[in-house]
DNA sequence: TCACGGATTGAATCGCGAA
DNA sequence: CTTCGCGATTCAATCCGTG
């Protein structure tokens, strides 16, 4: 039997694979990770591009296409088997409350998405990355391919408990909900990793802005983000900067070297720059009765619906009464509307200086008086 | 043996299904159409939404969800079999030079796209319909689902000969290539079909603007457009207005009645409003030698590369000579650059008033002098 | 007739934790 | 395991009634 002290030491010691790049094939390498050990996954698998010959621009320059060995598959069947294998490995290491992001183009994303559904992943959104500066269609035979597609999914249809920083996304988007179409430039300029001869290190390096939104939307500080196709390490770089842990898997030593150097140069942001915008649910709970106890409301006070067409009286025990029926602020609000549910805090209003205000405002006063900094 | 005159009469008589709505299941109904008989297909199949209970808005009103019987499938397997069947039927009736459009959401589009690839369709683009006014995410648990996806494909990987009105799309897009992300409002207002009680006739009526861009981009006037899930008939209405023929297949009589009345009320646009923008390739061909024949160039004239670093002389037979080598404007242009191919019309320049101009300008003068209106 | 405000609505896989 | 209480949650556009 293992002594308790040893167990405690083990629990306290961080996993050896945390914040490292594991060299090897993604399915084999993931066997080093326990079940349900990562909070989020970003996967940028080979797109299985099926290119014909060499493509030239109108000025005769050659398009530097993705023709690397790792993007070559003999058939759809082979690609599907590959997809199934890495998705299963990812599903095993992903926490039930975690989520996975997969990016692809029309060459592969339909096969990947269908396989994800077959394996029980539950799609939460498909997100379109609209490129500000996509490559033109040189032959003029199709529309300019100006976007890529990401699938955001839960590992099963019991989607309870996954992280979505709704309020942060909304605040970042001028206080309206973040949409499923995102606009970003492709990775270029100083952000693009180059070797000594100025050649790009990786043909499909993803922009940090894209990973930043992904990580900020669906993980919390301290979470572990896995990237099974680590490449040039954008996921690791952004995770480190944003105070998240990363694990990368990559087969090619050149990519590993470049990614490691890149990540080593990253300074994480200060913790107070990463403090998540508190969701309303995470605010301390205030019982309605404490408004009475603190004197903000008194028994017998008159509350109304937003338009004043329903009236209720405050009782000393923190219930409301309206006509023959009494109940909590929520139940009575639902009842007078004939609705199944109601947020009593925003439904019931009190009057002050001739104006109606929701009692949520009084709750805010209590919270402010007891707030931590 | 059928007399020749009967064959001719048959050829002259339009097919009985042209510009009609065929009632019935799409696979069975398409058996009425011969092989390779339609130029384009727009398919808006059931999305297979898998909704939980009722969804309420923050104001407690109920969301009118798509819960029609035609969108119910027992499993992914059943949906896949359904998809395979109608795609095969479509593939048979589609001309080899025709193309197919399929629209869907993340619920079904990945399965549909994978099945299309399995059946040998060759994807030309995936197109994102970005909605200006999508429904919000009421619970704040996901990103606002603000787009749908369309797949544009050729029936096989020999994609030669399909219609893509590149220049018209480019001209319509402020003279830059049309991208793969399109912005349109959802169908509402006066365009949305309503019954006598003001209820929407069809839960998922598509906007005419969307079909208009599809038809204008990938068909020619007089082409036949098939819609195997005709619904409220947007495809037929837009096809008729744009001078294309349509065929619809629809199971529900209510939808057929509404669609037929809608189409009957459409006035086709005048033919000269539909004249396609001539693509550059379809402009009358001009032989280089005709520039000499018409006196715009003379034998012995000096042509240069765009930067003046290569020089060639015009010969009377319409070839160029540079140093030891001679050849067409295209071959010699490629040769002096060490390139495989070259557009000699834009590569070779003549000098006028101290400025260099491509000889394409002289070609333009010849075309203008012989142009039709 | 126009301006303004309130009501309605659209392909939606839409909560969480304590008891 | 289920049940139940708490209470969080919407954007753009059209339509309609009122002044």
Question: Are the beta carbons of A159 and B192 closer than 8 angstroms?
Answer: no
Is A372 a residue whose pLDDT tops 70? no
Q: Which of B111, B128, B346 sits opposite A181 (nearest CB)?
A: B128
* Residue where a domain stops, chosen among B213, B241, B273: B273
* Residue A285, nucleotide of least CA–C1' distance: D6
Is A199 a residue whose pLDDT tops 70? yes
Q: Which of A116, A128, A167 sits opposite B147 (nearest CB)?
A: A128
Note if the pTM is more than 0.75.
Answer: yes
pLDDT tens-place string over residues B239-248: 999 999 999 9
C-alpha to C-alpha distance for A124 and A159, rounded to whole angstroms: 9
Q: Which residues of A spanning 87-146 put their CB closer than 7 angstroms to strand C?
A: 117, 122-125
A4, part of any domain = no
Q: Do both A253 and A310 map to the same domain?
A: no
Mean pLDDT of A261-284: 90
Mean pLDDT of A172-194: 95
Task: Give the pLDDT of residue B129.
Answer: 98
Q: Which of B76, B140, B166 sits opposite A117 (nearest CB)?
A: B76
* Residue B67, nucleotide of least CA–C1' distance: C11
Q: Do both A248 and A336 map to the same domain?
A: no
B261, part of any domain = yes
Task: Give the count of alpha carbons within 13 A of B280, CB side only.
Answer: 12
Task: Give the pLDDT of residue B8.
Answer: 54
Q: Which domain holds residue A67?
A: 20-51+59-273
Q: Do both B114 and B153 map to the same domain?
A: yes
Question: Are the beta carbons of B162 and B99 closer than 8 angstroms?
Answer: yes
Task: Give the pLDDT of residue B278.
Answer: 75
- The angle at the Cα of A157, spanning A155 to A162, to the nearest 5 degrees, equals 60
Å between A327 CA and C6 C1'? 30
pLDDT tens-place string over residues A38-66: 999 999 999 999 888 899 998 889 999 99
Residues in chain A: 373
In this complex, do B142 and A124 lie within 8 Å of one another by their Cβ atoms?
yes
Q: Do both B194 and B306 map to the same domain?
A: no
Tokens of B81: 């079999």
Å between B302 CA and D1 C1'? 91
* Residue B132, nucleotide of least CA–C1' distance: D12
Q: Do both B215 and B324 map to the same domain?
A: no
Å between A285 CA and C18 C1'? 14
Q: Do both A265 and A292 map to the same domain?
A: no
A330, part of any domain = yes
Q: Which of A141, A143, A178 sits opposite B178 (nearest CB)?
A: A143
C-alpha to C-alpha distance for B253 and B102, rounded to whole angstroms: 23
Which comes out higher in pLDDT, residue A231 or B2? Answer: A231
Amino acid whose CA is nearest the C1' of C17: A161
Question: Are the beta carbons of A166 and A103 closer than 8 angstroms?
Answer: no
Residues in chain B closer than 8 A to A177 (CB atoms): 136-137, 140, 143-144
Question: Are the beta carbons of A240 and A268 closer than 8 angstroms?
Answer: yes
Q: What does the radius of gyration of chain B's CA atoms come to, in whole angstroms?
A: 27
Starting at the edge strand found earlier in the chain, the sheet holding B302-304 runs: B325-327, B320-322, B311-314, B302-304, B349-352, B355-358
A14, part of any domain = no
Mean pLDDT of A352-360: 87
The total number of structural domains in chain B stands at 2
Beta bridge partners of B355: B352
Task: Give the pLDDT of residue B319.
Answer: 82
Q: Which residues of A spanning 129-168 put their CB closer than 7 angstroms to strand D?
A: 166-167
Task: Say which range, A9-18, A26-35, B78-87, B242-251, has the weakest mean pLDDT.
Answer: A9-18
Residue carrying the six token digits 């070609």: B363
Beta bridge partners of B56: B62
Å between A358 CA and C12 C1'? 30
A118, part of any domain = yes
Q: Do both A189 and A336 map to the same domain?
A: no
pLDDT tens-place string over residues A306-329: 888 899 999 999 999 998 899 999
Q: Do both A264 and A292 map to the same domain?
A: no
Q: Which residue of B has its CA nearest to A116?
A: B110
Percent helix, strand and coil across chain B, each rounded to 5?
35, 20, 45
Mean pLDDT of A176-198: 95
Q: Which of B111, B118, B127 sits opposite A76 (nearest CB)?
A: B118
Task: Give the pLDDT of residue A2.
Answer: 43
Amino acid whose CA is nearest the C1' of C8: B61
Question: Are the beta carbons of B76 and A118 closer than 8 angstroms?
Answer: yes
B8, part of any domain = no
Which comes out higher in pLDDT, residue B328 or A22? Answer: A22
* Residue B104, nucleotide of least CA–C1' distance: C11
A345 touches strand D (CB under 7 A): yes
B14, part of any domain = no
Q: A interface mutation test: which of B102, B106, B282 has the most A CBs within 10 A?
A: B106
Q: Which residues of A spanning 144-173 put their CB closer than 7 angstroms to strand C?
A: 159-162
pLDDT tens-place string over residues A281-290: 888 899 999 9
In this complex, do B106 and A117 lie within 8 Å of one another by their Cβ atoms?
no
Task: Give the pLDDT of residue B292.
Answer: 82
Q: Which residue of B has its CA nearest to A148?
A: B126
Q: Which residues contact B359 (CB under 8 A, 6 or more apart)?
A: B288, B291, B297, B303, B329, B344, B345, B348, B349, B350
B134 touches strand C (CB under 7 A): yes
What average pLDDT does chain A have? 93
* CATH number for the domain that contains residue B94: 3.40.50.150
pLDDT tens-place string over residues A100-136: 999 999 999 999 999 999 999 999 999 999 999 999 9
Residues in chain B closer than 8 A to A342 (CB atoms): 60
Residues in chain B closer than 8 A to A145 (CB atoms): 125, 180
Residues in chain B closer than 8 A to A169 (CB atoms): 143
Q: Do both A100 and A163 map to the same domain?
A: yes
Is A345 a residue whose pLDDT tops 90? yes
Q: Do both B249 and B214 map to the same domain?
A: yes
* Residue where a domain stops, chosen among B243, B273, B303: B273
B241, part of any domain = yes
Torsion of CA B24, B25, B26, B27, to 10 degrees: -120
Q: Do both A65 and A94 map to the same domain?
A: yes
Q: Do both A194 and A268 map to the same domain?
A: yes
Ranges of chain B with pLDDT below 50: 1-2, 4, 6-7, 372-373
Nucleotides of C under 7 A from a protein CB: 7-17
Residue A303 burial class via C-beta count within 10 angstroms: exposed 0-12, middle 13-18, buried 19 and up: buried
């Amino acid at each position: 039997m293992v002594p308790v002290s040893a167990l405690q030491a083990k629990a306290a010691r961080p996993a050896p694979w945390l914040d490292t790049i594991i060299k090897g094939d993604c399915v084999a390498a993931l066997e080093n990770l326990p079940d349900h050990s990562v909070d989020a996954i970003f996967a940028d698998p080979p797109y299985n591009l099926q290119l014909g010959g060499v493509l030239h621009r109108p000025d005769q320059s050659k398009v530097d296409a993705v023709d690397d060995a790792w993007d070559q598959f003999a058939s759809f069947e082979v690609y599907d088997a590959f997809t199934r294998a890495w998705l299963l490995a990812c599903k095993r290491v992903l926490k039930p409350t975690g989520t996975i992001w997969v990016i692809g183009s029309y060459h592969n994303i339909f096969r990947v998405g269908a396989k994800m559904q077959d394996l029980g992943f539950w799609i939460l959104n498909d997100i379109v990355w609209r490129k500000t500066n996509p490559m033109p269609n040189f032959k003029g035979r199709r529309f300019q391919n100006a976007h890529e597609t990401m699938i955001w999914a839960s590992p099963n249809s019991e989607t309870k408990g996954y992280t979505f920083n709704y309020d942060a996304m909304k605040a970042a988007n001028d206080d309206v909900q973040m949409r499923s179409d995102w606009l970003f430039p492709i990775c270029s300029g100083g952000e693009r990793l180059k070797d000594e001869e100025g050649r790009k290190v990786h043909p499909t390096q993803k922009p940090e802005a894209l990973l930043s939104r992904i990580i900020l939307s669906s993980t919390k500080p301290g979470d572990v983000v896995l990237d099974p196709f680590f490449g040039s390490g954008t996921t690791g770089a952004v995770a480190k900067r944003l105070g998240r842990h990363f694990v990368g898997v990559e087969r090619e030593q050149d990519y590993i070297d470049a990614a490691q150097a890149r990540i080593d140069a990253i300074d994480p942001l200060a913790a107070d720059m990463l403090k998540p915008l508190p969701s309303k649910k995470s605010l301390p709970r205030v019982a309605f009765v404490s408004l009475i106890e603190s004197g903000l409301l008194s028994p017998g006070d008159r509350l109304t619906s937003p338009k004043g067409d329903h009236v209720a009286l405050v009782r000393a025990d923190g219930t409301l009464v309206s006509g023959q029926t009494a109940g909590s602020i929520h139940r009575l609000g639902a009842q007078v509307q004939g609705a199944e549910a109601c947020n009593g805090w925003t439904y019931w209003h009190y009057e002050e200086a001739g104006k109606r205000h929701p009692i949520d405002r009084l709750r805010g006063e209590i919270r402010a008086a007891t707030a931590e900094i």
